[in-house]
Amino acid sequence: MSGWIADYLGARNFVEPQFGCGETVFANAYGWCDETLEDRMAEASTLQVSDPGEANRAWAEIEHQLVEAAVQTAVTNPLYTHAVSERVENVQIHPQWGLMLSLIWVQ
**pLDDT tens by residue, the chain, 107 residues:** 566 666 777 788 888 888 888 776 677 777 888 999 999 999 999 998 899 999 999 999 999 999 898 888 777 777 788 888 999 999 999 887 889 999 999 98
Q: Are residues 16 and 63 in the same domain?
A: yes
Q: Are residues 83 and 61 in the same domain?
A: no
Residue 97 lies in a domain: yes
Residue 107 lies in a domain: yes
Residue 103 lies in a domain: yes
What whole-number distance in Å separates Cα of residue 89 and Cα of residue 50?
39
> Which residues have CB under 8 Å from 66's CB, separation 6+?
15, 19, 37, 72
What whole-number distance in Å separates Cα of residue 78 and Cα of residue 97?
13
Count of domains forming the chain: 2
Residue-range definition of the domain harbouring residue 102 = 79-107
Cα 66 to its chain centre, rounded Å, is 13
How would you classify the pairing of strands 105-106 and 88-89?
Answer: antiparallel
